Structure 1
Amino acid sequence: MKYFKILAMVCAFLFIQQSAMAFEPRNVLCIAPSDPGGGWDFTCRNMAPILSDLNLVKGRIRTQNMPGAGGGVAYAHVVGQQKGNANLLVAASTATTTRLAQKMFQGFDADDVRWLAALGADYGIVAVSPKSRFKTLDDLVTALKENPAGMSFVGGSAVGGWDHLKMLMLADAAGVQDLKSVRYTSFSSGGPAIIEIMGGRADVFSGDVSETLTQLEAGSLKVLAVLGDDRLPGVLADVPTAKELGYDVIGANWRGFYLPEGVSDEQYAYWSDAMKKLAASEKFKALREQNGLAAFERTGAEMDEFVLNQVKSLEKLFARMGQ
């Protein structure tokens, strides 16, 4: 009898292990925390389906739009009602982590979900007029440290938004103590902000690569640094990263996914591996390049660590801004 009990326990253990190892996602739903159109919707409708094309997911991936509270409605739904659902992907981006750092998802924190992957990014840039007195990033940083209020920054996001935050991150990395004194003026988009630079009415433009390519090719803007891991190809090939110049700033407007809390480690590992294969596929690379996204890959534990560190860093910046 004892022998059969031991045998039953072993069989049960092996069954559990085999079941976990054999996880295959089915009837997968991707939540876009917004109305149709825009970045989150693009992530669900264009990035996620490649998983099916690569036979990493059985069947087609459905998209459900869940707008509200800048992603907060979807976040609350996932945390409160979808725990352990390994067949659910949720589109996310830098906007998600920024709002978490601002405590806009009231009652919820960054560690209430499992961060899965970032698969591409629109890198931030620091740009000036070709006639600017700032010839290098070091020139700009030196002036900024001497007199933080002595120059004007412009960008296409609101005060406290991503374009503003990128400049505060740079100032912080440079050792500027009084971040409140850094002058930033917001515009409805990058276009009007660039016009201010071209017209000599502002000193520094904070934006993303995708919105500046036309002006760069025309010689209307000069990029002092790219806020990325590595130098970019093409027209920006000779532009250094802030990192290589000694300022540890990654200003990547990334696009990716998170999973509900409660999925098993085996399920999480499956999805992490699937995202790596997605990122390496030629079909995805073509999609990324067609839509102006640079390579930016973080998956699994690396992604989780990246997001939590990003939120903590942004929280510190907001605290120093008095927000």
Structure 2
Amino acid sequence: MTFRETLIYVSAACMLVTASAAWAGSRTPITALSVPECLAPAKPGGGMDLTCKLIQKGMLLPTTLTVSQKNAVPPIAIRTTYLPGGIGAVAWNAIVTQRSGEAQTLVAFSGGSLMNLAQGKYGRASPANVRWVAAVGADYGMIAVRSDSPFKNLRDLMQALKDNPSKVTIGAAGTVGSQDWLKISLLARKRHIDPKTLRFVALEGGGESFTALRAGHVQAVSGDASEAMLHAADNEIRILAVLSDNRLPGALANVPTAREQGIDVSWPIIRGVYMGPHVSDADYHRWINVFDQMMATPEFDRLRTEGGLFPFSLTGKALTEYVKKTVYQYGQQANAMGLVR
């Protein structure tokens, strides 16, 4: 961002935060620190970053009012910050124990976060420890290599893993048991390959995985389709397969599914945000109203599509019930595979 662009953004933020503070009924002084924050629990360039950036753009859209005028909210300037560590555990613990009442802080999460929660990777935690605000879209798993890789399709990669798994390093966000680990492990099992023989490199988020792939530190990446779209524009990355039931529309329309290549594996992913457990009911429901209005606009549908995500919108109670059910199901799956701590 240039200096001039920075000045423009800061000026806009100052005006918008004044309006948003009035909307929120804030009694605190209006300062730069009052700007709402979307906290990405990973390094820049991955799916968590994408989630925050999508919300950041969406909150600046002029909303098409679907509720009474008294409930309408103005555009809101949101800043994206990063708190990587422990595949989301650092951010989770910070919000639960140190920042539990911050009404201006939203934290990005994904299906991988729910998987980690189910496996006890956030310690003695449960979905009830935070307040689930909104799911803003769905994503799908994918497998990618560098464009100069000898692996031209998913079958080539699976054959190499079967012939000599120690020769192929696979970058994945998180450790054994993470959703990226499970994606490639499920594919391997379908080809009668023991996942324990695969060479995994545990990385902190999708952005770091693709950085490692570009640098040649890993030969393949197990990640998400939206992350791949961020890194495939310059043709240095080849996406071998998407883990969806059918081909995805848009920029990845020419990428075959794993099923098309003879391996019946699908992996959908939810993306959204949560808040601290001690945020007041009033502030929590105000944010739900904001997301309901934002996601009802065709402009947000366009932004979501451009970000490589697909329609999936839940807020408040409906999202909370979905999260509880999903974490339970992931826990059952992890227990069956011996992954629960």
* TM-score interval, smaller chain: 0.5 to 0.7
Match of 2:298 in 1: 282
Could you tell me how far apart the structure 1 residues matched to 2:212 and 2:82 are? 31
Seen in structure 2, the aligned counterparts of structure 1 residues 178 and 76 have a Cα distance that, compared at 3 Å, is: farther
**Residue deviations 1:250-292, cap 9 Å, x none?**
253x531235679999x999977864553342332343355x3
Could you tell me how far apart the structure 1 residues matched to 2:82 and 2:97 are? 11
Q: Alignment partner for residue 196 of structure 1, among 207, 216, 228?
A: 216
State yes or no: 1:120 paired with 2:120: no
**Residue deviations 1:11-64, cap 9 Å, x none?**
xxxxxxxxxxxxxx8449955345999526536644445486757643565769
**Residue deviations 1:182-207, cap 9 Å, x none?**
2223564413314539xxx83x3324
Could you tell me how far apart the structure 1 residues matched to 2:157 and 2:299 are? 40
CA contact (8 A) 1:169 1:317 kept: no
Match of 2:334 in 1: 316
CA contact (8 A) 1:110 1:311 kept: no
Normalised to the residue count of structure 2, the TM-score between the two structures is 0.58
CA contact (8 A) 2:151 2:157 kept: yes
Seen in structure 2, the aligned counterparts of structure 1 residues 120 and 322 have a Cα distance that, compared at 3 Å, is: closer
Alignment of 1:27-66 (within 5 A): 27=25, 32-33=38-39, 38=44, 39=49, 42=53, 45-48=56-59, 50=61, 54=65, 57-59=72-74, 61=76
Could you tell me how far apart the structure 2 residues matched to 1:260 and 1:175 are? 43
CA contact (8 A) 1:157 1:186 kept: yes
CA contact (8 A) 1:97 1:311 kept: no
Match of 2:91 in 1: 70
CA contact (8 A) 2:43 2:83 kept: no
Q: Which amino acid aligns with 2:132?
A: W
Seen in structure 2, the aligned counterparts of structure 1 residues 235 and 61 have a Cα distance that, compared at 3 Å, is: closer
List runs of 5+ in structure 1 lacking aligned partners.
1-24
SS at match of 1:238: coil
Match of 1:214 in 2: 233
Tell me which moved more, 25-34 or 181-190: 25-34
Seen in structure 2, the aligned counterparts of structure 1 residues 268 and 67 have a Cα distance that, compared at 3 Å, is: closer
Q: Alignment partner for residue 299 of structure 1, among 308, 314, 317?
A: 314
Q: Which amino acid aligns with 1:183?
A: R
CA contact (8 A) 2:41 2:108 kept: no
| TM superposition shift of 1:180 | 2.7
State yes or no: 1:237 paired with 2:253: yes
Match of 1:179 in 2: 195
Match of 1:17 in 2: none
CA contact (8 A) 2:173 2:180 kept: yes
Could you tell me how far apart the structure 1 residues matched to 2:314 and 2:241 are? 26
List runs of 5+ in structure 2 lacking aligned partners.
1-22, 27-34, 85-89
Larger radius of gyration: 1
Q: Which amino acid aligns with 1:258?
A: Y
Normalised to the residue count of structure 1, the TM-score between the two structures is 0.60
Q: Which amino acid aligns with 2:308?
A: L
| TM superposition shift of 1:177 | 7.9
CA contact (8 A) 2:242 2:256 kept: yes
Could you tell me how far apart the structure 1 residues matched to 2:313 and 2:185 are? 24
| TM superposition shift of 1:212 | 3.6
Could you tell me how far apart the structure 1 residues matched to 2:78 and 2:146 are? 42
